[in-house]
Chains A and B, each alone.
Chain A
Amino acid sequence: KNQVEQSPQSLIILEGKNCTLQCNYTVSPFSNLRWYKQDTGRGPVSLTIMTFSENTKSNGRYTATLDADTKQSSLHITASQLSDSASYICVVSASRDGNNRLAFGKGNQVVVIP
């Protein structure tokens, strides 16, 4: 079982609407949680990074939340645009033996339609 689970696996939304993506993790010991956006055929691009003490962080129309107690995070996309169509990957970093090891979710595939 993957240490980072994302839901829904995929969703289709109308342009201008909002959506929320979920990420649950079991990674321990927790160091930080990141959300990446990956366009088709491209590499992942960082959207947000949150450490244990942060529970909300925004990057433009993207707002990430973190509940370190329940080990859950969400990524909220406001007023979606066609360019938001991409895979959104939740990445959790565990600090172990002096190394920061990243655990990746499979991604939420978002398709925005006009």
Chain B
Amino acid sequence: EAGVTQFPSHSVIEKGQTVTLRCDPISGHDNLYWYRRVMGKEIKFLLHFVKESKQDESGMPNNRFLAERTGGTYSTLKVQPAELEDSGVYFCASSLDRERGNTIYFGEGSWLTVV
């Protein structure tokens, strides 16, 4: 069974440009999460989808970040325009349900560098 896949694995863009990160969750997982880790900090929550609906987007840093999950399958996270402080690793994760004790599976991450 394929795990959570993310694309691109690495991206280097200039300040002011746009980047779109894609995440394909494990098939059948209704819950999809986006997290971010910036250098030297802990991983932090960005948002949570249940199917195509945004369940919790309180972790999104500002309106330059837009996440979508059309059709409840894959998700995209767009950063527009990118700023230097957006550099970091963006992790996508998915889980089968939200019950206590469910396993959350992470992708390998999309490493974003804004120069």
Contacts and interface: CB of A to CB of B under 8 A. Distances in A.
B100 A2 contact: no
Of residues B48, B101, B108, which shows the largest number of chain A Cβ atoms within 10 Å of its Cβ? B101
A2 B40 CA distance: 13
Interface string A97-108: 001111011110
> Secondary structure at chain A's binding surface: helix, strand, loop or mixed?
strand
Interface string B91-114: 100000010111111111100000
Contacts of A105: 42
Contacts of A49: 101-103
> Secondary structure at chain B's binding surface: helix, strand, loop or mixed?
loop
Contacts of A42: 108-109
Contacts of A34: 104
Nearest to A4: B42
